[in-house]
Chains A and B, each alone.
Chain A
Amino acid sequence: MYKLLLSWRYLRTRYIALASIVSVTLGVATMIVVNSVMHGFTTEMRNRIHGILSDVVFESRTIDGFRDAEWHMDRISQIAGNEIAAMTPTVVVPAMLNFQVGEQWITKPVQLIGIDPETQGQVSDFGHYLQHPVNRRQLSFELRERGYDTYDHQAGPNSRPRKQMAFAGMGYRRRMAESRRFLAAMTASPGQNLPPQPGAGEDASIPPADPFAGVNLADPFSHKEAEDGAAADSGYEQHTGLVMGIALGSFPQQIGKKKDGTPEYEDVFLVLPGDDVKLTFPTAGMPPQAVSGVFTIVDFYESKMSEYDSSFVFMPIRKLQQMRGMIDPTTQVAMVNSIQIKLKPGVDGSALRDRLQAEFHPELYVVSTWQDKQSALLAAVQMETAILNILLFLIIAVAGFGILAIFFMIVVEKTRDIGILKSLGASGWGVMGIFLSYGLALGLLGSGVGMGLGLWLVAKINWIADVLGRITGRPVFDPEIYYFYKIPAIVDPFTVTWIVCGAVAIAVLASVLPAIRAARMHPVEALRYE
């Protein structure tokens, strides 16, 4: 009893010891914040990756793929039919994307994915990442008249403005065709270097701060028309539609500063839904021939994973199969090179992968889960979290040495009290118990306050990042870099428990040596101590 009473009194009267546990408090708070943010990032990232990829991907090792997707899908259904919610065949080929901005042609390497617009939405969150509200419900490769989002619908109306998107759609395409035709008529007459007067009517509706949009709209160089004018009726009708990764044709541009000094951005688009692009990709067969075609952008794909947003281009699978020569002319059986599988909730993807892989020859087919597909990224984040945890725990361990030193001091200061207690019959164990429970109390207090502080910081993390950004004039969390609009933080109670227990254990361990010293003190010498 006296142990508890004395350690409680020491706790309330020795402020220097409270100072020694500040580092424990800060360490615990930091660990909780870091773990929560890392956990938030990981979860967000996994959700995104999982949303983009289907649960299990069944692929051919070749880009020419395998014949008869239906047969393969039946076979997969036979193996694991009751665990599979949906399947869709896709064709994935590397391709080259070209589009014209002003006079120059921009070329980008892309991953061209032929999808079935009917079933693609069933295997992943594909639709969720599109820019037209109707497309989000059901994708169509037909260009919509208008109505594309003028802001990032995933981040809300306060995100970066996308003013140009207001013009996108079929109407924009018709106006562009009009102006091109008008210009062609103008260039036929003298005065080639005249400013693009006829485009003025449309220019008025374009934000003047945006030079590219103007150039784009008033694009006077109708190479397109020269090359494929016949096919698309001078640009009034659309070509085959495609959905393009948003980062392929846009970039954020600083348009000024907000009141608090942080830079303000808006998204600038080099191309809009309604514009035409060229795609070049290899045909099936040996040796592959390059085949190219003109397509019309019908929507943008924005998953917030920059890797995907800057490389994915989606087009109808049937058209891709045709152009690549993947359809047997006699049987009309097409080839695909991957099947996306969506599992029913609660099904273990790895187990299913192993079962499928056992059935399909690994030299021809690769079966992988979405985690396998991004294992390097996920492992890197995991590694980062682990290293950060080790480092931060070392900080708490260092704090343990501070506690050790201060406890030694307190034991020396309390020498006479220890002598008194022993003269009253307290045993060495009892005296040790005083300092151990003191250490425990300090540890509990320090990590308790640390936990409170940490949880508060996590709850206010975005506000704190804003304030810090305002003070330093430089955003702490730049959404341009991370593709998240808020710092995602998720508190894992299990992790918090471990952190707190670890910190308390360190405080108790640090008090063991001073406690032993106190227990071993000779009562007579302790009583004489002045």
Chain B
Amino acid sequence: MSDRLSPCEPDSAGRPMDSPLHFSPDAPAGPLLGGGADREGGLDQRRRAGTGPSEADSDGSATARAALLGEEAGGEAGGHLRGDPPAQLSAVDLKKNYQKGPVVIPVLRGVSLSVREGEMLAIVGKSGSGKSTLLHLLATLDVPDAGEIYFDGQRVDHLAGLERDALRNGYLGMIFQFYHLLPELTTLENVLMPLMIGENVWGYVRRRRQLRQTAAGLLEMVGLGHRLRHRPRELSGGEMQRAAIARALVGNPRILLADEPTGNLDFASGREILELLHRLNAERKLTIVMVTHDPSIAEQADRTIRLVEGQLEPGAGPARL
């Protein structure tokens, strides 16, 4: 674990230390590693590929944070939650309400969880239990009404919009039940999209060839090497989901967040997708947080937590390791 990404512990009152980790909107998306590449290597590579300002930024913030963390950060790794394997993503007492007219509907009523690096966590629950909302909060797509979210020890839920955008672009990958590919673009362009978002025009034009190779390589890996120029509507559901996975991976994320990835697929395609996810988890040590309502899928995960009416079900196993 690099010290740059070492977590900082929330204090006893639940107030976190201010986040020094700066998710610069300009942070470049890194080139893809070969299968099973070391996570740290990937990050280093990403940082090496960085352009001037963002590199200086991350270095500067690393120094600043080291000073902030003092002795605790001086060690090889910062503090771990409960001292055990490093928690890569954690949530503390998340609450989220939705307003429907005059009625306030509580969706999450205080959910705490922690995900270790390289873990495959399944979140199960009936529809309406708040599992998708939880995933959206973890993905910083939405802001909790109360509670905190930490990514690599840095609090991320209160980051400014552009920093959250950069975090999503550079560190998180998402896949959805309905694949959510852009219909106007070819498969390859869809996969390239996170890289295009991360790069400015000149950066993209300059590294075009390399980025396209990266995306094509990923599509090859998910078995869509022959579908690069097809539009999403010409693909089957399983193919679309595989393209979506390639898109989620192209930015070389630390965590893959999957929202019912097999929910819209037939059994065979769903199994293929799950196998792919397992392979990624095993070979690349990719952390996967997966929301599903299917217990048989949840069983295959390292760990399962169950949401019932916006709260973790006590019997479903420890929320934190």
Which residues of A come within 8 Å of B, CB atoms?
Answer: 1-2, 4-6, 9-10, 13, 416-417, 419-430, 522-524, 527
Contacts and interface: CB of A to CB of B under 8 A. Distances in A.
Contacts of B174: 423-424
A423 B165 CA distance: 8
Most buried by B among A1, A417, A429: A1
A527 B182 contact: no
Given A423-B141, A524-B142, A1 B180 contact: no
Interface of B: 25, 133, 136, 139, 141-142, 161-162, 165-170, 174, 176, 180-185, 189, 193-194, 196-201, 204-205, 247, 251
22 contacts: A1-B196, A1-B205, A2-B193, A2-B197, A6-B185, A9-B184, A416-B180, A417-B183, A420-B180, A422-B168, A423-B180, A424-B193, A424-B197, A425-B194, A425-B197, A425-B251, A426-B165, A426-B169, A426-B197, A430-B165, A527-B176, A527-B180
A416 B251 CA distance: 21
B200 A1 contact: yes
Contacts of B251: 425
Contacts of A527: 141, 176, 180
A275 B36 CA distance: 111
A6 B169 CA distance: 18
Contacts of B181: 420
The 8 A-B pairs of least Cβ separation, nearest first, read A425-B169, A9-B184, A2-B196, A1-B204, A425-B168, A1-B196, A427-B165, A420-B180
B193 A421 contact: yes
A397 B85 CA distance: 63
Where chain A touches its partner, the secondary structure class is: helix
Given A13-B184, A425-B198, A523-B142, 15 more contacts: A1-B196, A2-B193, A4-B201, A416-B180, A420-B180, A423-B176, A424-B194, A424-B197, A425-B165, A425-B167, A426-B165, A427-B161, A428-B161, A429-B162, A527-B180
B185 to A, nearest CB: 6
A10 B184 contact: yes
A424 B168 contact: yes
A1 B174 CA distance: 21
Given A422-B165, A428-B161, A524 B141 contact: yes
Contacts of B198: 425
A427 B25 contact: yes
B194 A420 contact: no
B96 to A, nearest CB: 10
Given A2-B196, A416-B180, A424 B161 contact: no
A425 B252 CA distance: 13
Contacts of A427: 25, 161-162, 165
Most chain-A CB neighbours within 10 Å: which of B176, B182, B200, B204?
B182
Contacts of B199: 1
Given A9-B185, A424-B194, A425-B170, A1 B141 contact: no
A335 B197 CA distance: 86
Nearest to B133: A524
B184 A420 contact: no
Contacts of A425: 165-170, 194, 197-198, 251
B93 to A, nearest CB: 20
A430 to B, nearest CB: 7
Given A1-B201, A527-B176, A423 B168 contact: yes
A10 B184 CA distance: 7
A5 B197 CA distance: 11
A524 B197 CA distance: 19
Nearest to B183: A417
A376 to B, nearest CB: 55
Interface centre among A425, A430, A524 (most CB of B within 10 A): A425
